[in-house]
Structure 1
């Protein structure tokens, strides 16, 4: 540790609220890896919906609006006690950042020094010390400090060595979005020749899902804004429908095997109608609004299966590392920003005028 700086740059989240709660600092202490931990010099991180949702307290049951309703200024009324994704109050100040690509530069006790110099990706959804069967996990950058800094520390078991010719920015586009998408696809048991409808298909998780579903030789129907439709076709989507259009005008009832939903909102009631009997619905986001209307008769009369997806078994991230190393996935880096430009990056993220991921680069 004696060759490492004592201070670093990073972004502190000082509380739930608007962009003013993000504070770029140059005097933060460099973390010290403890027993079983490694210290990582961050090469790149990225912006995700969970960063915004945590900052504004959108996970609170008091909030019933879409994410963007409070994304700039926060919400006037939230309950701090349930404003994190886990329902456990966030400890402020917190360094967010659910994505991280970097290099191990120091290790704590009981960790081999052979790991120093390894290039790694940090797993976003991490084990919290309980068994996998108990669905207990933490999010990197929420229950612990994350990648919005020059240095970060994690358990050695959560830093995955990666062998790839991709640069740090490209690799940082994968962990959160692609593991979320792969987990949804696993839970819904997407098989070759399935027809899969993906909402929010141009976002980080949605565009990841397009690639990961095609990787399994299934058919993709993507929903996105009109100006992104050609990009989704180029990415591999078999059919693209403009967001906001009545889906039943383009697709038959009972014509979809799987729905991968990241949007929810007012159009949600169309989704169960599109699913065939025995179809599977999987969800890991509700950016258009978390409160939806469900006719329970559709659920049970069609023998539908619904999967809420947060917890991820370790195998999901292990598979993702293999896909990357075999060059089976294409990184979608829309734009790069310096870490001190995080407010601009989040503003652009909320404007949703891009496909893929927005990357944050700390000082090197």
Structure 2
């Protein structure tokens, strides 16, 4: 069994100090957290980059923000403004170590915790349901408590999942947030082999995950992406592709989809309901083009459309993902790997949306 015990009492971490620009991402030496009863300490091997870390730093979840992530990033870089409602659950508890996606190895356990976990390579279920899965209340690693942009992170033991596969650490780190979110939308909308599914932003982390997961269920998938990524989403299994900027209603016709998975929103939202057939299902877990949309209520109620919001992950989601990985039914999409110290560079490139898949950060190696 490899020696994973902490070599010292401090660790390297990127600490987000408040709402604002990249200057809020501070490299620091901080104490290594000690696992309490029922918790495990994980040595972080790789941590993925997601919209949610950027949005939390920007305070994008505040009701005062009406623009997309890119325009909000531009304004916050020059004018930092603390937001009392900028996090998922009201104010973000700054200073905070972000990092929602974690692949790591269990280094230590608290009392009343299975010591057999030590040494196992795991991924972390970042969305945690403290009141059980009958309640939609949730807390998130890296939004409500310290996350994986560090050499170590501690989490409840029931939130770690060992995965038996030959994937690299970086590949496993692409899974939790994007695929957990996408699989939840698959579950809630009940995607089956009989469905025609439309996915916006299909080249991003959640979009590309949703494409794979919908195809795994046998659905017919139409993907909306930029012109430079058409070949890549076709290779990933899309049955049809619409270039971003083209009118999807004109291309497909009204009532062409059973399910829409839409993390783009913004000005294109109204078209999504036109595309849905009667009894269709719409799901969203984001709004990168802007959170304020135009909704014609007649499209919703006259067509008996069901709208699904998706933040809290359902109970079956993470066990499902582990089984898909181990069965070789999905594959990781690593766009770029960078050292954790280059987080600002990673986030800047991430916001350019020229990549396909996920960015991954690697913390400094542990001295032995």
- TM-score after normalising by structure 2: 0.96
Partners of 1:221 and 1:237 within 8 A in 2: yes
Q: Given the alignment of the two structures, is residue 37 of structure 1 paired with residue 39 of structure 2, yes or no? A: yes
Match of 1:297 in 2: 298
Give, in whole Å, the separation in 1 of the partners of 2:261 and 2:80. 30
Partners of 2:203 and 2:229 within 8 A in 1: yes
Quote the offset at 1:73 in angstroms: 4.9
Match of 1:336 in 2: 337
Partners of 2:65 and 2:72 within 8 A in 1: no
Give, in whole Å, the separation in 2 of the partners of 1:140 and 1:359. 17
- Greater alpha carbon shift after TM alignment, 63-72 vs 301-310: 63-72
SS in 1 for 2:84: helix
Quote the offset at 1:12 in angstroms: 0.2
Match of 1:70 in 2: 72
Partners of 2:62 and 2:83 within 8 A in 1: yes
Q: Deviations over 1:192-245 (max 9, x none)?
A: 131100011000000000100000000110011100111000000011111121
Match of 1:231 in 2: 232
Match of 2:270 in 1: 269
Number of paired residues? 361
Q: Given the alignment of the two structures, is residue 260 of structure 1 paired with residue 261 of structure 2, yes or no? A: yes
RMSD: 1.4
Match of 1:209 in 2: 210
Match of 1:220 in 2: 221
SS in 1 for 2:355: coil
Give, in whole Å, the separation in 1 of the partners of 2:7 and 2:41. 10
Q: Given the alignment of the two structures, is residue 85 of structure 1 paired with residue 82 of structure 2, yes or no? A: no
Question: Residues 217 and 104 (structure 1 numbering): CA distance in 2 closer, same or farther, change over 3 Å?
Answer: same
Give, in whole Å, the separation in 2 of the partners of 1:2 and 1:78. 40
Superposed structure 1 runs of 4+ greater than 4 Å apart: 75-79
Give, in whole Å, the separation in 2 of the partners of 1:197 and 1:79. 37
Q: Deviations over 1:23-58 (max 9, x none)?
A: 112x21111111110000000001100001000000
Quote the offset at 1:80 in angstroms: 2.1
**Structure 1 unmatched ranges of 5 or more:** none
Q: Deviations over 1:132-156 (max 9, x none)?
A: 2220111111101111001000000
Give, in whole Å, the separation in 1 of the partners of 2:5 and 2:236. 47
- Out of 53, 64, 76, the position equivalent to 1:51 is 53
- Greater alpha carbon shift after TM alignment, 351-360 vs 67-76: 67-76
Give, in whole Å, the separation in 2 of the partners of 1:222 and 1:35. 46
Q: Given the alignment of the two structures, is residue 184 of structure 1 paired with residue 210 of structure 2, yes or no? A: no
Question: Residues 78 and 294 (structure 1 numbering): CA distance in 2 closer, same or farther, change over 3 Å?
Answer: farther
Q: Deviations over 1:310-341 (max 9, x none)?
A: 11122111111111111111100011000000
Quote the offset at 1:131 in angstroms: 2.9
